Structure 1
Amino acid sequence: MNARKFIFAYLSRRSFATTDQSEVQFFNKFSSEWWDETGPLKPLHSFNKLRIPFIREGLIQNGSIDKNYINTSTILTGLKIIDVGCGGGILSEPLAKLGAKVTGLDMTDEALKVAKHHAKINNVHNVAYLKSSIEDYAIENEEKYDAVVASEVIEHVENKEEFIQACVKCIKPGGAIFITTISKTLVAEIFAIGVAEYIGVVPKGTHEIDKFIQPHDLQRILEKYGCQTKLIHGLRYSLLRNSWSWTTNTSINYGLYASKFM
């Protein structure tokens, strides 16, 4: 299996407590692919240009950020953030570089080895990577974090209510949760599954329409567990430009930001 197919197999088969449990292997010889910005994970790298400001601005709006750091390069100083399904650390490490104390959770040993190694060689000391599901981690980490990020994760989760409940449990009152995912629509089935798999953006079987969730359903679950949705916005990916942009259309990809009630 080549590196591209192997990494996307990881992305489609990640193990969470709320997903179908399947053994995942990620060989060390493919580890360099995680941080190759022109490689098979280039859409995730380019996504950082949108999702990091999304998280940063949400935390400013939420009042979580110390005003003394707002106009600095370490704007997230003093904040504790969980990155659920962190993989090789593509999102965790940049958030740590902005000053946050980041905990990256994943269930795949070799992906975590990649993340730890990359942080070490880049002298990023305020990020910790742990092998754990969010459900297990929440048991002993209730209300310890300023924010939870679940980016491109919940569309692989079987029990979304249990997953969201665990995420929210880790958040301090007044803290925030940031989610990016795919909507459960015919349009998403055509483009996010049919077209994307046909042209090879992702291999066949990466996504299942039954695991997608519409924004209003996700909002309802968040409200059930004590969060008020502050923003829902559509996302658009350009394959030719390898770039993401915001759109009012939430029928395929979207981002959601919610705040936990005090």
Structure 2
Amino acid sequence: MLRLAFGLLAESSFRCKLIQVVSSDVKPVRSMCSWTVCAHHRQRNQLSNGLQHANVRRASHSTLDPAEVRKFQAMASKWWDLQGEFAALHSMNDLRVPFVRDNLLSIHGMQQEGKPLTGLRILDVGCGGGLLSEPLGRLGADVVGIDPVEDSVRIAELHSSHDPELGKKVRYQACTLEELAEEEAEGFHAIVASEVVEHLADLDVFASCCQQVLKPGGSLFITTINKTRLSYVFGIVAAEQLLKIVPSGTHDWEKFISPEDLERLLESVGFCVEAVKGMMYNPLTGAWSWQQSTPINYALHAIKRKEEPQPDRVCPENENLEEPGRGTSYS
């Protein structure tokens, strides 16, 4: 991350603008709160006006944040523009697809040559236009992509229709996670929620629903943004206001969550966190890379416990295992 910071600050015009914006807009960093306190802050955002679009699903006691839905409703037609607002998500596939594949293979083993995820059922929460659903389907998984924005789902269906093989492996549904949970108890081997949790109204509901729809021993994969000074400066000030990597207003720093708080939340509903890895985006190259620390973006892999934990051992904490993608580091 420091390499990126020094590279950006090397430009004097950028430096002056960055200092000006940060000095006036940067928010004070509060001490790391427990997940219950974070939930209290999130619930305040849930009390907003009703949905203004007829083609957006409604739900009560929901993960759905109407303001966030409206943002993505406005961008629904741009999911497959490789140079547009979602360019960084396209390039993120270079990290997140292998992260999901390799961790699933370490649990389930190779199922079929060329289609290693054959036989596995994966839920893509907040699938958008299908940017992650499609490559997982091409790896052989049976993928269900869900999103509350119906226009995004239609874009995903249209794009996948150009590949007849995907029609057999990937299907989409316009709904919320809690709506699906009513029908799909323990129906999936894995859930992916990539760049989603920072847009939700209620992470407690999200975690409980993930636990409900996963099979015992199933995997939950999350990529999101840490809640730090650097995440505000580079995730919002630089990415949105200066470099215009994503539209202004895409992210709300108050909704970011640290890996420590996310791990506590997941463990409280029956998960063991197996891996947390830092991620870095370089706007000059448009590429992502893995990092040992997690000051901005990070990826997390958790597993639903198969049985009630023993009193003396709930989850392995910070075990730096020598397997790909495993071990936890927050430094």
By the TM > 0.5 criterion, same fold?
yes
Instruction: Name the structure 1 match of 2:259.
Output: 215
Q: Which has the higher strand share?
A: 1
Larger radius of gyration: 2
Q: Which moved more, 1:137-146 or 1:33-42?
A: 33-42
- CA 1:41 to 1:193, structure 2 compared with 1: closer, same or farther past 3 Å? same
Instruction: Name the structure 1 match of 2:199.
Output: 156
Instruction: Name the structure 1 match of 2:232.
Output: 189
Instruction: Name the structure 1 match of 2:247.
Output: 203
Q: Which moved more, 1:119-128 or 1:78-87?
A: 119-128
Percent pairwise identity: 42
CA contact (8 A) 2:64 2:176 kept: no
Instruction: Name the structure 2 match of 1:9.
Output: none
CA contact (8 A) 1:27 1:110 kept: no
- CA 1:256 to 1:14, structure 2 compared with 1: closer, same or farther past 3 Å? farther
TM-score (norm 2): 0.70
- CA 1:143 to 1:151, structure 2 compared with 1: closer, same or farther past 3 Å? same
Instruction: Name the structure 1 match of 2:133.
Output: 92
Tell me by how many angstroms 1:14 deviates: 11
1: CA distance, partners of 2:138 / 2:81: 18
Structure 1: gaps (5+ residues)? 1-12
Instruction: Name the structure 1 match of 2:103.
Output: 58
1: CA distance, partners of 2:201 / 2:212: 19
Which residue identity is paired with 2:230? V
Do residues 122 (structure 1) and 166 (structure 2) align?
A: no
- Aligned ranges 1:26-65 → 2 under 5 Å: 26=73, 31=77, 33-61=78-106, 63-65=107-109
| Deviation per residue, 1:158-209 (Å, 9 max, x gap) | 2111111111211100110000000011111111011111221122211111
Tell me by how many angstroms 1:15 deviates: 8.4
Q: Which moved more, 1:198-207 or 1:227-236?
A: 198-207
TM-score (norm 1): 0.88
1: CA distance, partners of 2:189 / 2:64: 26
- CA 1:99 to 1:105, structure 2 compared with 1: closer, same or farther past 3 Å? same
Tell me the matched-pair count. 244
For residue 234 of structure 1, the aligned residue among 258, 267, 278 is: 278
1: CA distance, partners of 2:79 / 2:99: 22
- SS at 1:54's partner residue? helix
- SS at 2:267's partner residue? helix
2: CA distance, partners of 1:249 / 1:121: 40
CA contact (8 A) 2:231 2:296 kept: yes
- CA 1:27 to 1:238, structure 2 compared with 1: closer, same or farther past 3 Å? closer
Do residues 261 (structure 1) and 302 (structure 2) align?
A: no
2: CA distance, partners of 1:250 / 1:221: 18
Tell me by how many angstroms 1:105 deviates: 0.4
Structure 2: gaps (5+ residues)? 1-55, 307-331
Do residues 108 (structure 1) and 149 (structure 2) align?
A: yes
CA contact (8 A) 1:147 1:175 kept: yes
Do residues 248 (structure 1) and 289 (structure 2) align?
A: no
